Amino acid sequence: MKAWEKNIRKVVPYTPGEQPKERDVIKLNTNENPYPPSPKVLKAKLELERLRLYPDDKAKILVDALADYHNINADQLFVGVGSDDVLAMSFMTFFNSEKPIFFPDITYSFYDVWADLFKIPYRTKTLNDRFEIVAKDYYEANGGIIFPNPNAPTGLAVDLSFIKDILEHNQDVVVIVDEAYIDFGGMSALSLIHQYENLLIVRTYSKSRSLAGLRIGYAMGNSDLIKVLNDVKYSFNSYTLNYPSIVLAAESIKDDAYFKKTVEKVIHTREWFEKELTRLGFTYPKSSANFVFASHKTVPARKIFEAAKKEKIFVRFFDKPRIDNYLRISIGTDEDMKKLTEFLEKMVMM
């Protein structure tokens, strides 16, 4: 070991889904939207002169557009570099207790990475046999709660009464609902922020909004929560969002008809694909997201994953207990899913 290595923070980093460099692949491994954003996004005019100046640290045009869209006040909104940045800042800000935070054992695999990075004690709560989150597991004293709705990689959503129940039992910690996939079929808990000041809702531009390339995420909650989150953000980096992203992200909010149309197309394709999966002998929890979490009765997930990759079809495989016979398959275009279905048909016939 080198001398300076004694003093560094050692971590096991999160491994993002593979990003193949070739373009002729069917990419169903990172839950991106198969449809590009509205062409209006790139019509936004960028000024050379503005590039030399620091961007607006408050990203006012974006915050105002989102506040207007969600019918909340600008001071109830926090923006960051993708929901990962928003969530990392939220972990650092809100999960500062000596009691462990709680989250599901099968969930977004970044939560334990952030907890380790910031030295936050945590305990995972086991999903039941149907992969459902069990509310009463979260009644015990804790330092904070986070779960996605719908959950990932399972795709299962909870309803508002479930979230209210969690909140009623946890009034003295911050409860974060990660709504990365909410637009594909879940019921948002956004309306509850007016009633529960300890509730934070996190959203992303990377899934339903077709703008993973821009790195935009945001949080909504009581203005007191947003204020302390901003204090930590300003202690880390005053200018997290850059000028081109702010302009393009604000522009994208304007074309709501296009947004709704592409989300509906994804849902329609998912419903078709779920039927095909059933026909081929796969089981899966009913998805409310832009992916399906599927397992075959006889063919191992790892085998399908590896064979698919050879055919340049990328899906996600998690080599983890309980889920190592499942594949998380993003919903692509109809064409993508037809090709995948033909491939799966061959796999299960062998």
> Which tokens hold the place of 156?
């299962």
The order of strands in the sheet holding 101-104 is 77-80, 217-221, 199-204, 175-178, 145-148, 101-104, 122-125
Q: How far is the CB of 262 from a second copy (least distance, A)?
A: 10
In the region spanning residues 275 to 294, those forming contacts with a second copy, defined by CB under 8 A, are none
Neighbours of 88 (CB within 10 A): 19
The structure tokens 């048909």 sit at 345
The structure tokens 């479930």 sit at 162
Q: How far is the CB of 344 from a second copy (least distance, A)?
A: 24
Near a second copy by CB under 8 A: residue from 82, 148, 150, 185: 82
Beta-ladder partners of 293: 328
Beta carbon nearer to a second copy, 96 or 191: 96
Contact between 180 and 148 (Cβ < 8 Å): yes
Beta carbon nearer to a second copy, 65 or 248: 248
In the region spanning residues 84 to 123, those forming contacts with a second copy, defined by CB under 8 A, are 84-85, 88, 92-97, 113-114, 116-117
Beta carbon nearer to a second copy, 100 or 285: 100
Query: Can residue 13 be called a binding residue for a second copy (CB under 8 A)?
Result: yes
Q: How far is the CB of 27 from a second copy (least distance, A)?
A: 8
Query: Can residue 139 be called a binding residue for a second copy (CB under 8 A)?
Result: no
Q: How far is the CB of 91 from a second copy (least distance, A)?
A: 10
Phi-psi region of 144 (alpha: psi -120 to 50; beta: other; left: phi over 0): left
Q: How far is the CB of 292 from a second copy (least distance, A)?
A: 19
In the region spanning residues 20 to 59, those forming contacts with a second copy, defined by CB under 8 A, are 27, 30, 32-37, 39, 41-42, 46, 48-57
Site for a second copy (CB under 8 A): how many residues? 88
Beta carbon nearer to a second copy, 42 or 160: 42
Beta carbon nearer to a second copy, 149 or 240: 240
Close Cβ partners of 141 (under 8 Å, ≥ 6 residues apart): 99
Beta carbon nearer to a second copy, 207 or 296: 207
Q: How far is the CB of 332 from a second copy (least distance, A)?
A: 11
Contact between 288 and 181 (Cβ < 8 Å): yes
Angstrom distance (rounded) from CA 51 to CA 109: 36
In the region spanning residues 205 to 264, those forming contacts with a second copy, defined by CB under 8 A, are 206, 210-215, 224-225, 228, 230-245, 248
Contact between 217 and 206 (Cβ < 8 Å): yes
Q: How far is the CB of 190 from a second copy (least distance, A)?
A: 19
In the region spanning residues 166 to 205, those forming contacts with a second copy, defined by CB under 8 A, are 171-174, 197-198
Query: Can residue 153 be called a binding residue for a second copy (CB under 8 A)?
Result: no
Inter-CA distances, 234 with 77, 87, 161, 297, Å: 15, 15, 35, 51
Angstrom distance (rounded) from CA 177 to CA 107: 12
